A and B are shown apart, each in its own frame.
Chain A
């Protein structure tokens, strides 16, 4: 029995070193050399080096000059993520959808049928960085009006940012909201009064 216990202890220790330690060290080294950007979290920095966010993580956009991501059950908190976990029949869920629907129809000046359901529902992690292309098209007139540019220029940018499904059939076509908004600022200039955000409400 003593021998049995000894084997259990040493097996635990040996496998802990190999699979808890060495395995990760190898990945760490490969990440540093071969995929440094991905290993750090696909972070996006401005020219002056300040960190804007990650291309994989949604962030909150409220200003009319920007495209907005999907709603988030955790208010885009990337340090404590999660979904709503509302069941399909939950009255709270249906009320939340109804509220977002009312707000969006007013904000974009469209009818309910024109709003993709992705923009009315929260994602699993609350950090979905993408919206479907039709959700970007929907917002383009508002963005163009707020920036006083022809809607065609904004739609052109949207078109350039559509990522197709992998192999043509796996996954869905989508637009990365943060990358699209940064491209907007790049080609059309950043909006003038970033500090006035809070006063603007939604």
Chain B
């Protein structure tokens, strides 16, 4: 118990500490300053931009930027859809994996294009090696870079004064992929390879076990994928059970590195924003507000799972190592609970323990992480989601003190509030309505309670499984209560659409908002201005997030995890 607490604290503090220099480095990358990796990465960046046919100094306004974002994503979608639906006929398929079925392909490709990485397939049986590298890993790079680029454009917008342009989408995305993600993924991937993640194009190994049985061991191009899966808040694993699989996460050291990779860019992005806006105090306030949500959730989640399962304790079994169903011995329950919170607040979605088997209130923490979706958040999109709450907090604070709401010297008016409300309300609407539809469809299957249909667990937990799936799809998270039998046309198409809308609405509405704010003149701040870089504002923001972000989900939380917790003894 004590060692678990030390391990959790060290993991968090180390990540915070290293996020500061990385944030500074990223700010240099996006303001076009020279960095020390220039001799190696500069040529790669220029090569991609030359092939794309983009002049590095070409500027775009927010509309052109959004169009480029969507158009490039459409072609990535089409290219990777072609790969997975034809993988059987393509090379690098030594284990003879069949083509992907169309609704599953729609879901999977939408999932990876939107940086969600919800997986209704299992990697070792569903993807060839070519698909793993040319579909999954490829999209894990470019979609993460897309998110970072969108965030950079938003930062330029809110910092601008009568600004016409927010940057160039292709330049920003290429820079994010080549200068931020690539070097980090290279280092992390090498550590994982050293620790035991495979990197081979050979087919599955056929072993004869010590007792003489046959064992087929699936392997593949694992280490490079796991690195970018974590760093890009993608989360889509090489194998079905993700980073619980010993090949994806072989040792506690690999777990430490992967846990670090989940949070590092989302954390660093906040410092980047401070440098780019030249408002480091504001960045510190945002960072502290996020931390004030993250740390209590981790503490609570860890406490729930290290206590163990009372129903198993009732059989006379020692629960001093915590609830171990769905967890790995090498990590233990504490590090598993830490990961479950980190991976959901950041929209990463990888797991090192099965979330379906977490204790009920331990499982509520990942749900809350996805409902908020802005505590550090996905690479880039985390701050974009937070910006929406900041605008709302500014508006509410402005109303309370009876002044025109202002943010960083710019008036926040009706148009901005409409865009913020659209992005803010889409999230709960999609989750709650989606869950309601799923419950209805489930209830009209023949004899649902006896058959349990697509649910693996009865009672409130079954409800949580459906709620989790819609939360995960809408929040572009990608983790799951994996007991849900989700590879059916209903779930494939339904969550596929939820992922697409849950990605592009919360990116394009804030881009528009930032574009509009950027075009406004900046008024000098006076003694009467609302200061966004004060502790008071941080507290207001915290309260707005908790009240607006979580209260809407209170009823479903009660119906699912809380009801299960109360019934479990």
Contact = CB atoms under 8 A, between A and B. Distances in A.
Interface string A89-108: 11101100110010000000
Interface residues of A, number: 102
Contacts, number: 379
A88 interface: yes
A88 B330 CA distance: 21
Interface in A1-39: 3-16, 18-21, 23-24, 26-28, 30-31, 34-35, 38-39
Given A66-B210, A111-B316, A31 B200 contact: yes
A182 interface: yes
Contact of B335 (A5, A53, A132, A170): A170
Contacts of B179: none
Contacts of A43: 205, 207, 217
Given A56-B247, A88-B325, A27 B213 contact: no
A47 interface: no
Interface string A173-202: 010001001100100000000110100000
A121 B74 CA distance: 44
Given A88-B359, A122-B325, A194-B211, A41 B205 contact: yes
Given A16-B138, A19-B138, A125-B241, A87 B357 contact: yes
Residue of A24, A41, A79, A126 most packed against chain B (CB within 10 A): A41
B312 interface: yes
B565 to A, nearest CB: 9
Contacts of A11: 48, 51-52, 54, 72, 75, 170, 173
Contacts of B398: none
A196 B182 CA distance: 53
A27 B197 CA distance: 12
Given A24-B221, A89-B311, A84 B247 contact: no
Given A39-B198, A88-B323, A21 B133 contact: yes
B196 A56 contact: yes
A85 B205 contact: no
Nearest to A118: B324
Given A15-B138, A90-B457, A166-B256, A124 B195 contact: no
B215 A59 contact: yes
A154 interface: no
A89 B567 contact: yes
A148 interface: no
Contacts of B319: 117
Interface string B126-152: 000000011101100110000000000
B426 interface: no
A16 B143 CA distance: 12
A84 B358 CA distance: 12
A51 B207 CA distance: 5
B199 A31 contact: yes
A121 B325 contact: yes
A52 interface: yes
A57 to B, nearest CB: 6
Contact of A28 (B199, B213, B216, B459): B199
A70 B329 contact: yes
B210 A178 contact: yes
A81 B252 contact: no
A169 B207 CA distance: 34
Nearest to A27: B224
A83 B244 contact: yes
A10 B47 CA distance: 12
B125 interface: yes
Contact of B137 (A6, A24, A90, A121): A24
Contacts of B470: none
A96 to B, nearest CB: 9
A2 B514 CA distance: 27
B211 A66 contact: yes
A117 B221 CA distance: 34
A38 B196 contact: yes
Interface in B302-348: 308-309, 311-312, 315-319, 321, 323-332, 335
Nearest to A14: B51
A42 B79 CA distance: 34
A9 B217 contact: no
B511 to A, nearest CB: 17
A8 B239 contact: no
B133 A197 contact: no
Interface stretch (B2-10, B406-414, B417-425): B2-10
Contacts of B250: 42, 56
Nearest to B245: A125
B494 interface: no
Contact of A80 (B122, B246, B327): B122
Interface string B179-211: 000100110011001111111111011111111
Interface of A: 3-16, 18-21, 23-24, 26-28, 30-31, 34-35, 38-43, 50-54, 56-57, 59-63, 66, 70, 76-91, 93-94, 97-98, 101, 111-113, 115-118, 120-132, 165-166, 169-172, 174, 178, 181-182, 185, 194-195, 197
Interface of B: 3, 6-7, 10-11, 44, 47-48, 51-54, 67-68, 71-72, 74-76, 79, 122, 124-125, 133-135, 137-138, 141-142, 170, 173-174, 177-178, 182, 185-186, 189-190, 193-202, 204-213, 215-219, 221, 223-224, 239-242, 244-247, 250-253, 255-256, 308-309, 311-312, 315-319, 321, 323-332, 335, 351-354, 356-360, 456-461, 464, 481-483, 564, 567-568
23 contacts: A15-B138, A15-B177, A19-B141, A23-B224, A24-B137, A28-B201, A30-B190, A31-B199, A41-B247, A42-B198, A59-B210, A61-B211, A80-B122, A83-B325, A84-B325, A89-B460, A117-B318, A124-B352, A128-B246, A128-B329, A170-B255, A181-B210, A194-B212
7 closest A-B pairs (Cβ-Cβ)? A171-B252, A124-B244, A85-B483, A20-B138, A87-B461, A112-B316, A31-B199
